[in-house]
Amino acid sequence: MDAVILSRFFMWCTILNAGLLALSFLVLAAGGDFVYKLHSRWFPMPREKFNASIYTMIGTYKIMVLVFNAVPWAVLAIIG
């Protein structure tokens, strides 16, 4: 497996994961009440705790996308 294939792999991983991250943000920004009502049926919790959990999840996912997708892609682009 050469650097070009790896670079394209990480590029597409970054694009797809960034798109999923943006979609998650948009769904929560536009329909946060709906998502809260849906999830609070299964896991009863106050709205503040739900907001903190979602904020933590999105932040963790963003860091993981950067560390495991964007940084390897950037490194391969620099050395390639």
List, for residues 26-61, the tens digit of each pLDDT value: 999 999 999 999 999 999 999 999 999 999 999 999
Q: What is the pLDDT of residue 56?
A: 98
Per-residue b or e along 48-69, where b marks 16 or more CB atoms closer than 10 Å to that residue's CB: eebeeebeeeeeeebeebeeeb
> What is the total count of domains within the chain?
1
Q: What is the pLDDT of residue 1?
A: 78
Tell whether the model's pLDDT for residue 80 goes beyond 90: no
What is the DSSP code (8-state) at residue 43? S
Average pLDDT of the residues in 4-22: 97
Average pLDDT of the residues in 12-32: 97
